[in-house]
Homo-oligomer: A and B are copies of this chain.
Amino acid sequence: MNDIPALVRFRAFAHLEEAEFAALLPLVSEPKSYKMNAVLQREGDRSSAVYLLLQGWTASSMTVPDGQRQLLKVHMPGDLIGLPGLPVTAVPDTVYALTDIVACRIKLDELGRLFAGQPRLAALLFLISQEERLMLMDRLASIGRLSVAGRLAVMILQLHARMTRHDPEIRDTLRWPLTQADFADLIGATTVHTNRTIMQLRQDGILRWDRNEAEILDRAALRRIAGLPERKTAPNQSWLPPSI
């Protein structure tokens, strides 16, 4: 036991003690299924909830006045959903299911209990949030300063790193429930131009790309196009409070 896949984000930073593992169990209780395209929260909603995704993928998006949308993040199992809505009165992003999913709604009281009773877990949760922030920073820099090819490269490498953490078996072949239009919304481009860019990367032998699947054929070239360095997760853990 002591191996719930959805705790992968916590495990990325530290081994979990038995007691901590037990303390996290309430987070994965009462799992609920949602159909593909189900909406977990809608931007502007008053009631904000937090979810832990157990199975499947979801996406978080913001809509601008002319109807275009920006995908802020795709979530995969183990990711927490809804945290950025905590400090504000209205839900900032729309979250919907990219596949059929299983998720747990987390009562905010549970979150409070975690901070009160499990300081080391709270610190890990804090680290997870900083990691989210860093991923947004990388994407901000890529969208602000790179060509569409560069943005796409950053996005693919980021997804690759995250998917590898979930499944170490993955090497260079990635399966995802994302269309080219989704990628366009992730990198702030149009579907047409995203498609042309993908075609170019295919012709250059850098990617293989089939519906819902891609293979990184030339990782070095993709890194070069991305321009940003690889982020190696491995915090200085010495400051973490002792486990309870």
Interface residues of A (CB under 8 A from B): 13, 43-44, 48, 62, 64-65, 68-70, 72, 83-90, 92-93, 107-109, 111-113, 115-116, 119-120, 122-123, 125-134, 136-141, 143-146, 150, 187-188, 227-229, 231-236, 238-242
Contacts and interface: CB of A to CB of B under 8 A. Distances in A.
Identical chains bound together, number:
2
A72 B235 contact: no
A232 B62 contact: no
Contacts of A116: 119, 241-242
B130 A229 contact: no
Given A44-B229, A229-B90, A232-B89, A112 B122 contact: no
Contacts of A242: 116
Contacts of A129: 126, 129-130, 133
12 contacts: A65-B227, A70-B144, A84-B133, A87-B235, A88-B235, A92-B138, A108-B238, A111-B123, A115-B119, A136-B136, A143-B144, A145-B188
B93 A137 contact: yes
Contacts of A70: 140-141, 144-145
A4 B230 CA distance: 38
A133 B88 contact: no
B241 A112 contact: yes
A235 B136 CA distance: 22
Contacts of A13: 87
Contact of A87 (B84, B131, B143): B131
